[in-house]
Chains A and B, each alone.
Chain A
């Protein structure tokens, strides 16, 4: 089969599944059969992606197949189709593999849901695969934008999956409108790009100043989607959705769409020095800031959510420093180990029926497989030597080191230490130590949940060794060499793990040693930062809304009401003419005829 056909199948089959489930309520509400349709579609999509990747192990030129879309005077505004190259193919494999694993996991995880909700859940998942691949295979930025908005929609639908719960409904709306506000930047950037270059090509040729302006606007959209400070506040709330959703959308793939955008627009960002510097500082600060918050969270999903913010900060920072491979490779490794961590956390939550770390503890004896894969994920995330995260993080830190920007470099190094610390904390609190009341009856999950976990643990463990192959697929060069930065980062990671063991494992260092930090922790835990940010946004949004409402009420509605009042009053005055007496009408008729005759005779 040709590459184009494979890509179209990868896109079309999940769309067909979503369409079928949406159009046939009987099938959707039937539960298990609906899930089967969706999982089969995901499997087909995954198979296509694997075949595509196998054909591109040595890179190769991009293949574009597109049809004309949106005709404008004499030509077309934009094409729609698929662009197949190393980057889109590898991203497609990440998306379909994680999506497949998450769907299979969900069959077990969501088994307690009612049939109708179960089917609805899988309909959204099929729609998500289609949306995300639309974005990944986009041959130009306008199709990319369409996919970008579609994944935003599925994110909204899946965060609000438990829509009966007010907090989930609020979280969905919050995620939707914060990302939507940021998307205005992306949209403006697209419009400007069209004005400057006359198209939406990935490699538009514009001057450095224009590129700076366009990429700065793009970066605004990226900050929203990829949860960069200060637009990160929606991501922790997004944890209201089911845990597998958090794994797929809010850790592995959708939030990485922002990073993917920067990777795709590399030539534009290459030219925009100022934007890249801003990206380094924003990304670096987010990495450290979110890691600090993750340390004090008591909810296992929130730890992972802030960790996702932090790791996305790493990627943005790397791309800012000009290391395309570093940012993109970290996206890849992160997708696998973070999806793994979330799914393992889902397995734990499924067993103890609580998100709180204090309700866990001592699970290692009861859930051996889950514990093993969680530890693998945690070590990979911490950048423990020879696991996948180590290689990608090392690339990023080395790029920062070479860029000579010491402030973001310092941020990232400190974040590396904190990452190891908070992951060590989660592992020790959840899986070791004394079991809590709720954890006493926990037991290992069924095969539908364990198979995806084990499957994801493989790349989390070993993907680092394939870094050179990965680079070849993306058309980049890579050779591993141990640098002082890499050694330092590994030492920091190990130190972080040791410190977490001393505090939470052996209790050698009591928590009172950190009493000086308690007010800070309290402040972070209380959510005051989020509330402040939210109040700034909402105050401005409300003021704008009030203004628009005023214009609508008094200007738009005013015009409409004025014309209606004019007609009404005129009618009221003129009705006196209608006497209802036939002889009056005849008189006017005769008089009119006489006047007209006289006029025609005289003139």
Chain B
């Protein structure tokens, strides 16, 4: 498969992620969408690394994955705490910061 195929896959994943981010009401859904976008970036990194024969891109992809894991951990912890106090994880109902 050529580089373009990978890039198209990554772009598709990224767009799905954005769509989910904008349309999901559930906080867990939003977190999942963010994961999709992050993984689209990782695919790009690996694809370009393979195309250039340079392993640095793969190293970065590993880094990125590790950081994403940490991010998800924090995000899920927040969601759990929100759910405990409000019995709901729908972001539409979290409007306390309205100015």
Contacts and interface: CB of A to CB of B under 8 A. Distances in A.
Chain B associates with chain A:
yes
Interface of A: 574-583, 586-587, 590
B13 to A, nearest CB: 15
Given A575-B99, A578-B98, A578-B99, A583 B91 contact: yes
A334 to B, nearest CB: 78
A583 B22 CA distance: 6
A578 B94 CA distance: 13
A581 B91 contact: yes
A586 B21 contact: yes
A577 B22 contact: no
B16 interface: no
Interface string B31-63: 000000000000000000000000000000000
Contacts of A590: 18, 21-22
Contacts of A580: 94-99
B18 A577 contact: no
A573 B94 CA distance: 22
Contact of A582 (B18, B94, B99): B94
B28 to A, nearest CB: 13
B21 to A, nearest CB: 5
Contacts of B92: 581, 583
A310 B79 CA distance: 92
Contacts of B21: 586, 590
Given A586-B21, A586-B22, A587-B22, A581 B99 contact: no
A580 B96 CA distance: 6
A115 to B, nearest CB: 64
A241 B13 CA distance: 93
A581 B99 CA distance: 11
Contacts of A577: 99
B91 A582 contact: yes
B26 to A, nearest CB: 11
Interface residues of B, number: 12
Contacts of B99: 574-580
Contacts of A578: 97-99
Interface in B1-44: 18, 21-22, 30
A588 to B, nearest CB: 11
A426 to B, nearest CB: 82
A1 to B, nearest CB: 77
Interface string B62-89: 0000000000000000000000000000
A580 B98 CA distance: 4
B95 A581 contact: yes
Nearest to A587: B22
6 contacts: A575-B99, A578-B97, A579-B98, A580-B94, A590-B18, A590-B22
A582 B30 CA distance: 10
Nearest to A578: B99
A590 to B, nearest CB: 6
B78 to A, nearest CB: 12
A519 to B, nearest CB: 80
A-B CB proximity, top 6 nearest = A580-B98, A575-B99, A578-B99, A580-B95, A580-B97, A582-B91
Given A580-B94, A582-B91, 17 more contacts: A576-B99, A577-B99, A578-B97, A578-B99, A579-B98, A580-B97, A580-B98, A580-B99, A581-B91, A581-B92, A581-B95, A582-B30, A583-B91, A586-B21, A587-B22, A590-B18, A590-B22
A125 B60 CA distance: 80
A575 B30 CA distance: 25
A579 B21 CA distance: 17
A259 B64 CA distance: 86
Contacts of A575: 99
Contacts of B94: 580, 582
Contacts of B95: 579-581
A455 B98 CA distance: 87
Nearest to A590: B18
A450 to B, nearest CB: 84
Nearest to A574: B99
Nearest to A582: B91
B33 to A, nearest CB: 9
Contacts of B98: 578-581
A586 B24 CA distance: 11
B49 to A, nearest CB: 23
A574 B99 CA distance: 9
B46 to A, nearest CB: 22
Nearest to B93: A581
A586 B34 CA distance: 11
B89 to A, nearest CB: 12
Contacts of B30: 582, 586
Contacts of A586: 21-22, 30
A572 to B, nearest CB: 9
Contacts of A574: 99
A582 B97 CA distance: 10
Contacts of A581: 91-92, 95, 98
Nearest to A581: B95
A575 B97 CA distance: 10
A578 B99 CA distance: 5
B22 to A, nearest CB: 6
A5 to B, nearest CB: 73
B32 to A, nearest CB: 14
Which among A575, A577, A579, A586 has the greatest number of chain B C-beta atoms within 10 A?
Answer: A586
